[in-house]
Amino acid sequence: MKWLFVYGSLRRGQENHHWLAGQRFQGEAVTRKCYRLVQHAGYPALVVAKSEQEAQTIAGEVWEVTEECLAALDAFEEVPRLYVRQSVCLADSWPQEVEAYFLSPQQADWAAGNKMPQGKSAKSV
């Protein structure tokens, strides 16, 4: 089992939440202020901020997921072409490592100028 931070369409009530059916919700969470969301193909995508000025906190949820669920999500998120799954720093402490889907470096270069406005809700990804 792994813990996964989701911040867009995988969240409860969103269009792709069905991918988390049967998994265990652990709680709501917020990242530390070292990331930002960019628009990529109509969806918000998580990237590491390049400066303190562009950094923001990202709200989301933490889920305990099975390896089978992660494999299906990796295929859905097109890992490693579109996204990569890696550790994420959350504002509150969690009892184990939490991962999230980040925009792949190649895609992040393309999306560099498409930052989401501060405070906009991430309803996708």
Active-site residues, by number, are 77
Q: Which of 102, 54, 113 is nearest to 78 (CA)?
A: 102
Cα–Cα distance between 90 and 28 in angstroms, integer?
11
3 state SS of 52: coil
Query: Residue 106 carries which side chain, given as an amino acid letter?
Result: Q
Cis bond upstream, residue 95 (ω within 30): no
